[in-house]
A = this chain, B = another copy of it.
């Protein structure tokens, strides 16, 4: 990246590369067959306290399209990580919930992620990370608003 590039371009370029490096490192330690996308879904349900969610709600939460979520959920259901049933209140809709196996898988992933996370936490000083977080949240919030 030369310094001639616009500031925003440079920033988003760095973000892209960091995303690639960290995603690869995280994916490498996940159990065979598990992916970041699937882990993200499991993690989301853990935060929700096991409420049910529609595929559309999940897609919206992660800012991905519904076809993508359909695809990921189908794989997760096949692997027994989530249960999908028709929405009794909407003939078009479905309701997704996490299974016991899904919760267990999330715990396993968390354990395995601990190492790389600690490493990442170590290489970048907590100070740097602490400075970064609010700035990133600010940018993200503004991008979110822009999307609407």
Contacts and interface: CB of A to CB of B under 8 A. Distances in A.
Interface of A: 2, 6-12, 14-24, 26, 47, 63-64, 113, 117, 119-121, 123-124, 126, 128-133, 135-140, 142-147
B120 A12 contact: yes
> Per DSSP, are chain A's interface residues mostly helix, strand or loop, or mixed?
helix
A114 B127 CA distance: 34
Contact of A64 (B20, B135, B145): B20
How many copies the complex holds: the figure is 2
B8 A121 contact: yes
Nearest to A119: B146
A7 B119 contact: no
A131 B128 CA distance: 11
